Structure 1
Amino acid sequence: MTRASRVLLAGTAASLLSGLPSTVHAALTGKDLMAAAKAAGTLVPGRKDRPDATAGALVHFAVSATWTVVLAAIDQRRKLGVTGGAVAGLAIAALDLNLIGRAYPAIRKLPQLPQWADHVAFGAIVGALLAAGGPDVRHHDEY
């Protein structure tokens, strides 16, 4: 598997799976399962006070893709693995939730611990999948 394929796989899997902690928390506490997605939708310019799950899904995938590229670049210099990815997820959470998110009421209202857990899961998944592929495999024609 090429490096690009591993990065694409890692980003896709992390984007799809990393919301499990907050989704499980919402289900167990009887909260809106789509609250985090709706809150993410407020990051779209002009939607700060208009949460929307569809816009949130688009924002989530764009933000996930951006962070995946950042983590993949870091991983090329220093292998992240699960632990390094999880630590990176904590750093991403600090930026996303504390620095940027505090300006958005819908994000501020979300239960924070599950949101931090989502970010840690994202980083851990990306780190694990980048590490799982091993070295790049390239097929060469034999002469």
Structure 2
Amino acid sequence: MGLLRTWMGAAIFGGVPSTVHALLTGRDALAATKAAGTLLGRPGVARGVLAHVGVSVFWTAVLAAVDRRRPLGVAGGALAGALVAAVDLEVVGRRYPAVRALPRGPQWADHVAFGVLVGASLRASRRARESTLD
């Protein structure tokens, strides 16, 4: 249950930076979601949500596996989020014009936020487990 909660929180709130940026600059707040749809064939909100679910589940599982060997915490989560951004946006994403067209800064901020949220949530879960063992 803890990993599900970790994933949900990070997947939902990790997109806050780009959403706020879009709203403040008059851009489409769903642009990133629509662009993610191109990973599944073509842009669109429904496909984008599915793509985001798949990608965020994958990265949550990867970060949880790393955290088991070396606890991430907030700082480690931020670094991990930046590494995820490099892979998602600069390696995979550059093959998708809709992803490439997104403003870089807000997208990187989303990924760092995702990593911070995963790292913080995993740390909180670990501390809760440890306190029940005492």
Q: Which TM-score band applies after superposition, normalised by the shorter structure?
A: over 0.9
Corresponding position of 1:90: 82
- Matching residue of 2:8: 12
Q: 1:63 matched to which residue of 2?
A: 55
Q: Once the two structures are aligned, what percentage of the paired residues are identical?
A: 55
Partner of residue 109, structure 2: 117
Divergent runs of 4+, >3 A: none
1:56-88 deviation digits (Å, cap 9, x = unpaired): 001101110010000000000000001100100
Give the aligned residue type for 1:20: V
Shift of residue 7, structure 1, vs aligned partner: 1.3
**Aligned partners of 1:6, 1:108: CA distance in 2, in Å?**
33
Deviation at residue 136 of structure 1 after TM alignment: 2.9
2:87 maps to amino acid: L
TM-score (norm 1): 0.88
Match of 1:23 among 19, 25, 30: 19
Counterparts of 1:98-137 in structure 2, within 5 Å, are: 98-133=90-125, 134=127, 136=129
Count of residue pairs the alignment pairs up: 130
Larger radius of gyration: 1
CA distance in 2, matches of 1:40, 1:58: 9
Selected match of 1:32 from 19, 28, 35:
28
Q: Distance in 2 between matches of 1:20 and 1:127?
A: 17
More helix by share: 2
- Structure 2: gaps spanning 5 or more residues: none
Per the TM alignment, residue 135 of structure 1 is displaced from its structure 2 partner at its CA by 5.3
- SS for the counterpart of 2:129 is coil
1:72 paired with 2:59, answer no
